[in-house]
Structure formats: C-alpha cells, structure tokens
Amino acid sequence: MARTALDWTRLDLATASGVSERTIARFESGEPVLPARVQALRHAFEAKGVLFIDSGHLAGGVIPPKA
C-alpha cells in the first residue's frame, strides 16, 4: 500500500531502500524477511513522507504523503 501511495515500482523502492527487488517481492507476498530489511523499507517510505499507523483499529495502514 505504501509503494502504491508513492506510485513506486519495486525497482524504485529497491533503489531508495537498498533492499533487493527479490526481497521486496518476498515481503509483499507475506514471506519472512529479516527485520533489518523491513526497517530499511519503512525508512525509505518515511523519507518520502509516508506515515505508518502502528496502533489502534487502523494499525497496519498508511497515510500517503501530502501532495
């Protein structure tokens, strides 16, 4: 969802995060990924203004950056 909010391809995210496209594909399909890789993905999104909802009934959601 965060990748869609930025209109990023997997390659865009890989470039921004330093995480391989293959790892991104695994993460998006629900396969296990090292926590450090997940953190790198999150940091790349947050650097572009995406906010993650970590608690409450909307936990797991994202807020896209302001246009």
Please report the DSSP string for 18-59 in residue order: ---HHHHHHHHTT----HHHHHHHHHHHHHTT-EE--SSTTT
Would you state the pLDDT for residue 62? 87
pLDDT means over runs of 10, the chain (67 residues) = 91 98 97 97 95 90 84
Q: What structural domains does the chain harbor?
A: 2-63 (1.10.260.40)
Q: How far apart are the C-alpha atoms of 1 and 4, rounded to whole Å?
A: 5
Would you state the pLDDT for residue 15? 98
